[in-house]
Amino acid sequence: VSLEDDIEAFGQIGRDGEGVTRLAWTAEIEAARAWLLQRLADLGLRASVDEAGNVLGRWESGRGTAILVGSHIDTVPHGGRFDGALGVLSALEAIRQLKQNGIRPSRPIWIAGFNDEEGALLRTSMLGSRAFVGGLDLADLREHGVAVAMAAAGFDLERLPEAKRIDQVGAYLELHIEQGHTLDERGIDIGVVTSIAGLVGLRARFTGETNHAGTTPMRSRRDALVGAARVVLALRNDARRRSDSTANVGSISAEPGAANAVPGRTVIEIDLRSSSRDHFVRLEPRARLLIAEIAAEERLDVDIELVQSKPPVELDPTLQSLIASAAEAEHASSIDIASGAGHDAMLIAPHVPAGMIFVPSRRGISHSPDEFTSPEHCLLGARVLARTLTALVTN
């Protein structure tokens, strides 16, 4: 068995012609769990599924808290074969290498295949790792139809709190594809992740006045779409001034939605990110001020709703240097890099030291069937992971 074989085999699960679709609480993710349980058992690990649908494999050795290694097994609709999967499959490869090297870990090693990181089915992103650290809001999940989907898959929403096992973990390692183009463009093998960007999600509803497109004088219009469009550009221009921040308006809807009517109502969904802790706290107030100013100039009413707020997370400096040394020992080039995308590590890092290893994504493409990391880079990443893990369990 090789890592390449595992990537090929796991990529068949949920394959749908246009990519891979494994959403939480579906038959595809159940098949992925069954496959992973078997692979863990083959490696001699104690394999089980927890109350949140996460797969856990335990190598109970030595004493103390476990080193947890893994990533997620779900995908976005029509996603690729590497996002999430590579972190779990390279953890299997790392265990294989440790066993081949005759290592007897001084403490337990656990593998995690987290469920529902993408949250693509019911917008419950990172449900699996959130349950693992005990950070779920059950009341909120009850409202969002999660119980029904879980019950259909043989799980019980009320038992989610039992999935909390972070107290038995001492550190976390996650290998992931970069999902950006920095490593690929610069020809670097390994990214040592320093932090994960914080995210503020806002929804802005603009209300002006719907009227006839041909008879309403330009000067007296209260055009909600024009106001929203100005906000889109202003947020972009503001984010362009900093290298550590991004702004995105990914959804816009205008009513009544006819070419011959002045749009009286417009809603936009805003995604603001920053890896800087100082700047993160300014994201929401800055955006609110900018939106209010433009709305006033366009004579619009505006209502701004905070949809989500996740602060940036710093990854553990000691683990960063262990990963960098492991890369050096493998004769791999490496750089420090901040992650713009969210990961399970974000949930775990506030509880225990967490480290992340990035491998290059061809042309930075992800969440797409075209997602690709070369077999050489997959294996190199797994070797860096194995070395880092070895350093943690042989002292």
Nearer to Zn ion, 266 or 275 (CB): 275
Residues 216-255 that bind Zn ion (CB under 5 A): none
- The distance of closest approach from Cβ of residue 84 to Zn ion in the complex, given in angstroms and rounded to an integer, is 4
Nearer to Zn ion, 84 or 355 (CB): 84
- The distance of closest approach from Cβ of residue 270 to Zn ion in the complex, given in angstroms and rounded to an integer, is 22
Quick note: the x/- pattern for Zn ion over 58-77, rule CB under 5 A, is --------------------
Quick note: the x/- pattern for Zn ion over 92-131, rule CB under 5 A, is ----------------------------------------
SS (H, E, C) the chain: CCHHHHHHHHHCCCECCCCECCCCCCHHHHHHHHHHHHHHHHCCCEEEECCCCCEEEEECCCCCCEEEEEEECCCCCCECCCCCHHHHHHHHHHHHHHHHCCCCCCCCEEEEEECCCCCCCCCCCCHHHHHHHCCCCHHHHHHCCHHHHHHHCCCCHHHHHHHCCHHHEEEEEEEEECCCCHHHHHCCCEEEEEEECEEEEEEEEEECCCEECCCCCHHHCCCHHHHHHHHHHHHHHHHHCCCCEEEEEEEEEEECCCCCEECCEEEEEEEEEECCHHHHHHHHHHHHHHHHHHHHHCCCEEEEEEEEEECCEECCHHHHHHHHHHHHHCCCCEEEEEECCCCHHHHHCCCCCEEEEEECCHHHCCCCCCCCCCHHHHHHHHHHHHHHHHHHHCC
- The distance of closest approach from Cβ of residue 394 to Zn ion in the complex, given in angstroms and rounded to an integer, is 29
- The distance of closest approach from Cβ of residue 361 to Zn ion in the complex, given in angstroms and rounded to an integer, is 11
- The distance of closest approach from Cβ of residue 329 to Zn ion in the complex, given in angstroms and rounded to an integer, is 26
Size of the site for Zn ion (CB under 5 A): 2
Nearer to Zn ion, 84 or 360 (CB): 84
Nearer to Zn ion, 28 or 83 (CB): 83
Nearer to Zn ion, 50 or 83 (CB): 83
- The distance of closest approach from Cβ of residue 325 to Zn ion in the complex, given in angstroms and rounded to an integer, is 25
Task: Please identify which residue in 19, 53, 57, 84 interacts with Zn ion, judged by CB under 5 A.
Answer: 84
Structure tokens at 75: 């995908």
Per-residue burial over 99-125, b = 16 or more CB atoms within 10 Å of its CB, e = otherwise: eeeebebebbbbbbbbbbbbbbbbebb
Asked if 342 touches Zn ion (CB under 5 A), the answer is no
Nearer to Zn ion, 182 or 253 (CB): 182
Q: How far apart are CA 180 and CA 273, in angstroms?
A: 15
Asked if 57 touches Zn ion (CB under 5 A), the answer is no
Task: Please identify which residue in 83, 116, 223, 371 interacts with Zn ion, judged by CB under 5 A.
Answer: 83
Stretch that binds Zn ion, among 78-86, 106-114, 203-211, 219-227 (CB under 5 A): 78-86
Nearer to Zn ion, 93 or 116 (CB): 116
Nearer to Zn ion, 80 or 105 (CB): 80
- The distance of closest approach from Cβ of residue 89 to Zn ion in the complex, given in angstroms and rounded to an integer, is 13
- The distance of closest approach from Cβ of residue 53 to Zn ion in the complex, given in angstroms and rounded to an integer, is 16
Residues that bind Zn ion (CB under 5 A): 83-84
